[in-house]
Structure 1
Amino acid sequence: MGERNTRRDVIKATAGVAGIGSLAGCSSLVGGGNAESIAIGSKQFTEQQILGYLAYHAIDENTEVEVVDEVGLGGTTTNFQALQEDEIDMYWEYTGTAWLTLPPQNDEVISDPQEIYNRVTAEFEEEHGITFLDRASFNNTYVLLANPDWQSETGIETMSEFASHLQDGNTDMTVVMNAEFQERSDGWPGLIEHYEMSDAASELNVRNVGSGLTYQVVGEGEAQVGMGFNTNPNIARYDLVALEDNNGFFPVYNPAPMIKQDTLESNSAVSQPLSDLVGTLSTETIRELNQRVSIDGEDASSVARDHLSSNDLI
């Protein structure tokens, strides 16, 4: 405990110096004029709420900055507009979402994690006065998920192997996905074209089911393959196998704290706690945290605090 307090005191001392040196840039001063308040937003789904509270508690426990809870504010557009209009100061955004969905909405798909991070950071700093702090390594992208028994029988581990399997005439199987994924150019149509399996895929039994049901349907053997999201806890729950996107079709969706540049300049000490945090967020870890909230029914804020405490970050 003493070691954590010493580390916290050092970071808080840094925060105080940063605040004193930039009073002219502060818009909402608290704590005797030593720091600016920072409102943290998030999207409404489980993973985003966990990320929001991880940032909230990391900053609250390690700096003198007053943190305002706006976790669960709304969707992507709501959070981004709130950031632009000074209603919040930061939220976690996924690099692929920022690159493909937020203005200026690029069309190019970038599958290299560092390249998309570098490019979206440079673009948002120039276009919006917003920057990204360090990104987490986990990638909340689309994946094709295989039933574990079927995967064990076929030995298929990659998208290319799946394509070859279909091209060899093995099309007597069921694939499940939601209606949006079946229609999106960055979903099923683009995927089967990218892996040159469009003709074979036309012979599959493709069924539409809700996003939340695909994991169960595949896990229980009612379908051999289905679409999903890489960090969903149901992957582990049903022991599903995510096929490797070995030819890089799907965009990369690494989350990173997206923060206004003037807020960061006034409160530079928030960077260190958040940088320490992202290093603890692997794919396996975020799936476990998501499961504790969405399946086990635990409170997102409590789960976030527990994770920080377990990693000596608070």
Structure 2
Amino acid sequence: MTQKTTRRDALKAAGAVTSAAGLTSLAGCSAILGGGGGGGSGTVTVSSKQFTEQEVLGYLAVEALKANTDVNVQDEVGLGGSVTNFEALKSGQTDLYWEYTGTAWATLPPKHSEVITDPEEIYSKVQSEFESEYDITLLDRAPFNNTYVLIVREQWANDNGIESISDYVSWAQNNTDHTMVMNAEFQERDDGWPGLVEHYGFGDTADQLTVKNVGSSLTYEVVGEGEATIGMGFNTNPKILKFDLQSLEDDKGFFPVYNPAPMVDQAVVEENPSIEEPLNEVANSLSTETIRGLNRKVSIEQQDARTVAKNYLKSEGIV
């Protein structure tokens, strides 16, 4: 039986090939796809990565463009990982997706090991570099930052007057009899627990703590149920809301910044200038609490991501 090759199959295959082979050309994919992502024809193809937050962001872009422009919007939401989306964009097979500034800086070529914790600095550097290297630009970045955080129970934080990592470090010096939970990778990474301990001068005290490894998705429940005092999480995870947790302020600026912004082919913006305003409006509306709430509707309440995105845009008057 003959199998039909869909557009999405071809896009994913293109990303997988280039991921394995490095920065090789994707020009041959156009023959499979029957054309590119629509750079100059009034067609804009929106893709995204394959997890809840990215699907929400993807559909926010799709619905905002459909309602506010005359372009023909093609939906490739949930296309694949960072490399697949970037290669599809770079080759002209898609036209935009939301990328995090920290991911673009550290993960996408040419890759940088320097950690930048200032949101505007890393945004400006990524935007300048990608415009120069690839003729790809970033539109406005969203205020929310999907970075690592240390999480505690909100009531515990209030009872102990702890709002920041420095507050926690000071408290822990006299209270070493408690448990911290994190995944094994975070415990070993230089930009994880070892680096954090050094950055905050926490060495001697940290050695006295009980540290347990749990999966990232379980950390929130373990801390929320009081089985550990503190844990590692991600700032926009909706389980922070579900388990009444609080993320501690990274007051000494250790963790990298991960603000998302629409990453767009420059030619597409020039040929379809109407897309810029609605995408920027969406980006600027997304606070940490807002995206946590949207993520919660999809991942915890099991609502449809596209419906959640559309309802949010209506509530904000964007559509």
Q: Could you state the TM-score of these two structures normalised by the residue count of structure 2? A: 0.86
Alignment gaps of 5+ in structure 1: 1-26
How far apart are the structure 1 equivalents of 2:218 and 2:235? 15
How far apart are the structure 2 equivalents of 1:187 and 1:104? 22
Residue 113 of structure 2 is matched in structure 1 by: 107
Please tell me whether the aligned partners of residues 29 and 36 of structure 1 are also in contact (alpha carbons under 8 angstroms): no
Q: Secondary structure at the match of 1:138?
A: coil
Please tell me whether the aligned partners of residues 37 and 44 of structure 2 are also in contact (alpha carbons under 8 angstroms): no
Residue 274 and residue 233 in structure 1: after superposition, are their counterparts in 2 closer, same or farther (change >3 A)? Answer: same
Residue 143 of structure 2 is matched in structure 1 by: 137
Shift of 1:279: 2.1
Residue 171 of structure 2 is matched in structure 1 by: 165
Are 1:60 and 2:66 an aligned pair? yes
Shift of 1:239: 1.1
Are 1:300 and 2:305 an aligned pair? yes
Alignment of 1:208-227 (within 5 A): 208-227=213-232
Please tell me whether the aligned partners of residues 138 and 283 of structure 1 are also in contact (alpha carbons under 8 angstroms): yes
65, 78, 86: which is aligned to 2:84? 78
Q: Which amino acid aligns with 1:260?
A: D
Q: Which amino acid aligns with 1:275?
A: N
Residue 209 of structure 2 is matched in structure 1 by: 204
Residue 291 of structure 1 is matched in structure 2 by: 296
Residue 10 of structure 1 is matched in structure 2 by: none
Q: Which amino acid aligns with 2:90?
A: Q
Alignment gaps of 5+ in structure 2: 1-34
How far apart are the structure 2 equivalents of 1:162 and 1:228? 16
Please tell me whether the aligned partners of residues 29 and 35 of structure 1 are also in contact (alpha carbons under 8 angstroms): no
Alignment of 1:163-202 (within 5 A): 163-166=169-172, 168-202=173-207
Q: Secondary structure at the match of 1:212?
A: helix
Q: Which amino acid aligns with 1:276?
A: E
Please tell me whether the aligned partners of residues 37 and 95 of structure 2 are also in contact (alpha carbons under 8 angstroms): no
Q: Which amino acid aligns with 1:48?
A: Q
Shift of 1:102: 1.0
Residue 119 of structure 1 is matched in structure 2 by: 125
The Cα offsets for residues 194-238 of structure 1, whole Å up to 9 and x where unpaired, read as 101122111111111111110010000000000111111111111
Please tell me whether the aligned partners of residues 62 and 75 of structure 2 are also in contact (alpha carbons under 8 angstroms): yes
Q: Secondary structure at the match of 2:216?
A: coil
269, 276, 279: which is aligned to 1:271? 276
Please tell me whether the aligned partners of residues 28 and 37 of structure 1 are also in contact (alpha carbons under 8 angstroms): no
Q: Which amino acid aligns with 1:95?
A: T
Residue 237 of structure 1 is matched in structure 2 by: 242
Q: What fraction of aligned residue pairs are identical, expressed as a percent?
A: 57
Q: Could you state the TM-score of these two structures normalised by the residue count of structure 1? A: 0.87
The Cα offsets for residues 56-109 of structure 1, whole Å up to 9 and x where unpaired, read as 011111111111111001111111111112221110001111111111111221
How far apart are the structure 2 equivalents of 1:182 and 1:221? 21
Please tell me whether the aligned partners of residues 138 and 254 of structure 1 are also in contact (alpha carbons under 8 angstroms): yes
Residue 21 of structure 1 is matched in structure 2 by: none
How far apart are the structure 2 equivalents of 1:284 and 1:241? 11
Residue 159 of structure 2 is matched in structure 1 by: 153
Residue 125 and residue 282 in structure 1: after superposition, are their counterparts in 2 closer, same or farther (change >3 A)? Answer: same
Q: Secondary structure at the match of 2:274?
A: helix
Shift of 1:28: 6.5
Shift of 1:153: 3.1
How far apart are the structure 2 equivalents of 1:180 and 1:49? 25
How far apart are the structure 2 equivalents of 1:254 and 1:301? 21
Residue 240 and residue 267 in structure 1: after superposition, are their counterparts in 2 closer, same or farther (change >3 A)? Answer: same
Residue 28 of structure 2 is matched in structure 1 by: none
Q: Secondary structure at the match of 2:74?
A: strand
Q: Which amino acid aligns with 1:120?
A: V
CA RMSD of aligned residues (A): 1.7
How far apart are the structure 2 equivalents of 1:164 and 1:105? 35
Are 1:249 and 2:254 an aligned pair? yes
How far apart are the structure 1 equivalents of 2:143 and 2:237? 15
Stretch of structure 1 that moved more, 34-43 or 242-251: 34-43
Are 1:46 and 2:52 an aligned pair? yes
